[in-house]
Amino acid sequence: EIVLTQSPGTLSLSPGERATLSCRASQSVSSSYLAWYQQKPGQAPRLLIYGASSRATGIPDRFSGSGSGTDFTLTISRLEPEDFAVYYCQQYGSSPAFGQGTKVEIK
Amino acid sequence: EVQLVESGGGLVQPGRSLRLSCAASGFTFDDYAMHWVRQAPGKGLEWVSGISWNSGSIGYADSVKGRFTISRDNAKNSLYLQMNSLRAEDTALYYCAKDMGALRALSPFDYWGQGTLVTVSS
């Protein structure tokens, strides 16, 4: 079973700043089966990134993903007011699993 | 437009059963795998179970194995989760999610419903 650990738990930033979120896996994630989701209060999660670096349909290009093996990163180049939310990484191998989440809050 | 609408949640006593349903529309249901994901109040996401397009491959989280059963009816564009021997720790918002692929693994979840709340309490 692959365990995903996200850091930091909370990221306090201002609009316009760059956000860098980390997701570390307990063992290598095959073929970059790694996704990122955004969840706002009272809403369902939304797929942002899959295959570690491919943006989902309709996702702005300020969101980017990178990494391979056990270390993955979600970067938001310039935070917009609507980007303050909780972000989850997910590996979607044989037994999917999510990280515990990183909250991006307004500083 | 893809729509996933969950139903069947509610308050149930420990040890009892509940059956969740998810009605799908806006896509060819029998082309895709489907999943249930839950979120306890104030907590993160937990994958519960997944089923391939033809029900040929099914998987469960260890926390629900032997108690929950996932199924689908492609003729009715519907996904189900039969939950038996419910425990307090099963209390959560249960989401139905569409897989990007036909198998129950190797693809992310591209559409989610709004969830149905299950509360297990005496």
Give the number of other Cβ atoms within 10 Å of residue A88's Cβ: 23
Q: Smallest Cβ distance to A96: which of B50, B110, B115?
A: B50
pLDDT tens track for B55-95:
999 999 999 999 999 999 999 999 999 999 999 999 999 99
pLDDT tens track for A12-51:
999 999 999 999 999 999 878 999 999 999 999 999 999 9
Q: Which amino acid is at B103?
A: L
CA angle A3, B60, B120 (to 5 degrees): 95
Hey, of A43, A92, A98, which one would you mutate to test binding to chain B, going by the most B CBs within 10 A of its CB? A92
Q: Smallest Cβ distance to B105: which of A46, A94, A99?
A: A94
| Nearest residue of A to residue B110, measured between CA atoms | A47
| Buried residues in B7-21 as b, exposed as e (16+ CB within 10 A) | ebbeebeeeeebebb
At B104 the pLDDT is 77
Distance from C-alpha of B42 to C-alpha of A91, rounded to nearest angstrom: 22
Q: Is B45 close to A101, i.e. CB distance below 8 A?
A: yes
Length of chain A counted residue by residue: 107
pLDDT tens track for A68-82:
999 999 999 999 999
B108, two tokens? 């992310």
